[in-house]
Amino acid sequence: MAVVSSNDIKNGITLKVEDGLFTVIEFQHVKPGKGGAFVRTKLRNARTGAVIERTYRSDERLEQAIIDKRDTQYLYRDGDDYIFMDQSTFDQVSMPSKSLGSAANFLKETGKAMLMLHDEQIIGIELPASVELVIAETEPGIQGDRVSGARKPATLETGFVIQVPLFIGPGEVVKVDTRTGDYITRA
């Protein structure tokens, strides 16, 4: 159990508060002209993804949660669970789909993922910034349709639908941003 001062809060650290585990996504040290200084924070719940705002006095002590990150490889889906293999021990770990959230849209077999654990309990998953996926289905581009910036819907091999440029066809491999779900480029 590591204790940190509210003055030491930085983006990305995980805090253990009475409501659960929260990751700091934004912080601001405020020193008003009158009264004591304080720290205004935006915290994301590590399990549910809900964002809350909290304010702490500058001398307040908070408990920092130690998060263990493990390199894993996604193997397959078993009913409502996703099965991952730890890259160092080769142990298989099961994770329910509700814990994955939007990350499930970008997982393909043999894909890399980083499991986040706290006290040997899985609390979340981190994907690479972008992944390469095959376009399973999309309308063909029409000859002569050269409108700049025009987009059309395309279904990826995982079943997720994204907007792609008109020249992209079925079977092509595209790079997709896992944070926003946007098309980046052809692979």
pLDDT digits (tens, 9 = 90+) for 142-174: 666 666 678 889 999 888 999 988 888 889 999
Identical fold, 2-64 and 68-126: no
Q: What are phi and psi of 60, to 5 degrees?
A: -75, 140
Model confidence over 20-40: pLDDT tens digits? 888 888 899 988 888 888 999
Do residues 25 and 43 touch, judged by C-beta distance below 8 A? yes
Does the domain at 2-64 match CATH 2.40.50.100? Answer given as no
Q: How much is the pLDDT for 155? A: 92
* Residue 103 near residue 111 (C-beta atoms within 8 A): no
Q: In CATH terms, is domain 68-126 a member of 3.40.50.410?
A: no
Longest dimension (CA), the chain: 67
- Strand-pair category, 38-45 with 20-30: antiparallel
Three-state SS annotation for 24-52:
EEEEEEECCCCCCCEEEEEEEECCCCCEE
Domain boundaries, the chain: 2-64, 68-126, 130-186
| pTM of the shown model | 0.68
Q: Are 111 and 125 in contact (CB under 8 A)?
A: no
Between residues 138 and 150, the one the model is more confident about:
138
3-state secondary structure of 97: helix
In this structure, are strands 61-64 and 51-57 parallel, antiparallel, or unpaired? unpaired
Superfamily of domain 130-186: Nucleic acid-binding proteins (2.40.50.140)
